[in-house]
Structure 1
Amino acid sequence: MISRRACFRNLLQSLRTSYSSSKIGDYHRFASRASSFLQQVFEPSTYSDDENPGVDWDNLGFYMMRTDYMYMTKCTKGECFEQGQLSRYGNIELSPAAGVLNYGQGLFEGTKAYRSEDGRLLLFRPEQNAIRMKMGAERMCMPSPSIDQFVDAVKQTAIANKRWIPPAGKGSLYLRPLLMGSGQILGLGAAPEYIFLIYVSPVGNYFKEGFAPLNLYVEEEFDRASRGGTGGVKSVTNYAPGLKPLTRAKSRGFSDVLYLDSVNKKFIEEVSSCNIFILKGNVIASPAANGTILEGVTRKSIIDIARENGYQVEERVITIDELIDADEVFCTGTAVGVAPVGSVTYKGQRIEFKTGPHTVSQELYTTLEGIKRGLIKDNKGWIVEID
């Protein structure tokens, strides 16, 4: 291994050569890169080869934790993505005129890696995230990695960061694939260059309540999405507009916001970070993914599991009155898993629902988590083993 002192000597020699043989502008650019390199060389490293990263796995929340590696590749408009590379986790360089910064030309995905009881490393349906990114990229006028390239990139990134995958039952490694217009564009249009990137963080439960039932507030002033918009894809532009109603709801003690349709204000659509289901008798219903609702991978999986368990499942429009009359309400998503809803507040009225053991949401949660973590045999081909 080359020592830091040797790196420093080599760098000084390169600087001398650059100074004597390059134009002043080239020299300054090289010097700037050299300064950044020197900072990395001589600053204490945050990385370690120790298999134990020193995380308190028993108190893991849902927040960003600096890990070891990220994956990145680029492509120019009209071309395919290059073979990606793993590099140390860190900042990336973007032009101020990048399409994602000026016009919001970006998508993101979310998937997880799990450690099974016998030590295997497992991914859950990553090809579904790849398919959804391709659909979103078409809507946002972007190229996208192939399904195989996406899945391979997720595998590489998870394996490179495997020491950050929590012990079985203690959490998961959240993987965040990003697709963004990185090329410069001044007038409104598609960027000329794109970056596909994946970073990771170990996470626990998404909501601060942990596994306690959620308390939702029905938002009537603000909309999440409208027909013909981007509500059905994971565009980066979908989420910042929801910060104001979400912040307001949390300040009043609620867990999250439940949105209504933008036209009639009487059909339930989606919670700000997850899909929603209602149960009445033996019938489980979820709003149809008709362009304003994101078709979640967890949502799709829960629908399949519920049908196999003998429930009648409907994807259709659901009125707020139907929700008020439901026996159970629960949310699904990659980040939240399956989260029971304890109450919904609508027009000042708080409606409570059945939660706890022996509920349908608990039954579905147990089955889904069992498959994800290798405790229940996977007969559907949902699990991808990576180690």
Structure 2
Amino acid sequence: MSKRLTRPRPSSLRHALNLEDYERLVRRRLPRSVFGYVEGGADDGEACRHNREVFRSIRMIPKVLVDVSTRTQETTLFGQTYSAPFLVAPMGASSIVGYDADNSMARAARAARIPFVLSANSITPIEEMARTYPGAWFAAYQSPDARKIEDMCLRVADAGLSLYMLTVDVPVASNRENNVRTGYTMPFRMSKRLGFDVLRHPRWALGTMLRTMRHRGLPRISNVDPIARPSIFSRNIGAVTGHAGFSWRHAEQIRRCWKGPFVLKGILSPGDARLAREIGADGIVVSNHGGRQLDSAVSPVDVLQAIRAEAGTMTVLADSGFRRGTDILKGLALGADGILIGRPFLFAAALGGERAVTQAISRLKTEIDIDMALLGVNMPEDITEDMILRSAF
């Protein structure tokens, strides 16, 4: 494979000054269908837009003349200390977007000492990820079948992943009109329009799709089932989702089977946070799935304070729309213990592999460090509710 097709252009990475720049820079490198799959949301995309706009309604109140010379971003989650209060969110089909993107993101995250979460809807098997990042986290789309629950918990534990994150906000596939318009399908189907799109993007076709098939054979969705590994072309996979019949009693079974930290991802209701606490969950992710499920859903920022009040001793994480250092500090002030970030790191992986993801993590850490100093705090725990003020746009 020509290095020219796979090596990132230095000028591209030089121009990535913040997380949103990676999306802008990679747009023309990806087929429209692939870029649209990552970038798009459900229905009219209102939830996606609101996830970003909501941060404009929150202002910060800095404290001055504070000695901030001992600043640290170190954050403890589930008994482990990490270098920053953010982590790499689970993202499905990442290796279709960028070659070996799961491993690129995981290696960068491990080197930076932040958590990485592997999606069930990924091409990279759990067992392979455990070698790349021992103790990485796993985000499941779980069948309600009791035997499959037991077998999946056993598979994740045997591989050596450390945390089981159950995705709870996808009982059915959402209405992704954007995917229809751009030609993205799952199972993957080559159409005339998609073929033309791929031909216009030879860097992706050769450096990602064909290289992936050369390395792995037919790409397979590796982690939605304890045993089955359907290819991305298989009619058996359809849209990878949870199950309409999955309920709290099945979540309780996972809690009984899984001995490590157990987290529910996709909580937006304070009442659901209370139920998660009552079944013994160790944590929750306040999330609207990046605007990809219910298009009228609230942003996590809208409900974080109310959910924190119901969470008790559970760890509270949040995602959906966080992009800037100040966004993360606002999330912490509202009650989150850590923030998950997805799309920007995947776009960075597609743009320049591990090197670009490492740069993106560093860029965000730098922003947070500067913002902490300007806010007048030395540790994430120092960021409190009285440092923010909600205002009109």
Largest Rg, 1 or 2: 1
TM-score computed with the length of structure 2 as normaliser: 0.28
**Greater share of strand residues, 1 or 2?**
1
